[in-house]
Amino acid sequence: MNSLFRREPECEHLASDLIAAAVAATRAQWPDVPPLGMVTFVDPAQTRRKRDPGRCYRRAGFLPVGWTKGGLLALRMLPADMPDPLEPRPQAADAGQGDLLDLTA
C-alpha cells in the first residue's frame, strides 16, 4: 500500500513514471506479489481539481476499485498489470532524487 506520494515541481519526470518505477523497484526488493496486487488511496479533497482524481496512478496502471467510508478513492494494480522488477537507481545517479527505497532504516 502506498501511503504517501508527492512529485516536486522541479522534478523532470512525470508522476506516473515515478509511480511505475517505484512499483518496479518494490517488486525487485519483494518479488512475492500479493495475489490481490497493490493498493493506494487518493483523497480528492487533497489534490488539485481534475476530472479524475488519482490520474497519475491511473496512467501508471492502477484502476479504481471503489471508495472508502471516509471518502478516499481506492485504486489497485493487479500483478499481471505491474511492470517487471527493476532495481532502484543508486543514490548518486540523480542528485536530489536519491534512492527509491531506503533499506537502511
The residue ranges of every structural domain in the chain are 15-93
Between residues 45 and 90, which one has the greater pLDDT?
Answer: 45
- pTM score > 0.95 for this model? no
What distance in Å separates the CA atoms of residue 78 and residue 99, rounded to the nearest whole number?
25
The predicted model gives 24-39 an average pLDDT of 92
C-alpha cell recorded at residue 35: 495475489
What distance in Å separates the CA atoms of residue 7 and residue 15, rounded to the nearest whole number?
6
C-alpha cell recorded at residue 51: 476530472
The side-by-side arrangement of strands in the sheet containing 73-77 is 38-42, 73-77, 63-67
pLDDT at 65 over 70: yes
Between residues 83 and 6, which one has the greater pLDDT?
Answer: 83
Lowest mean pLDDT among 5-9, 15-19, 75-79: 5-9
C-alpha cell recorded at residue 49: 481539481
What distance in Å separates the CA atoms of residue 81 and residue 85, rounded to the nearest whole number?
12
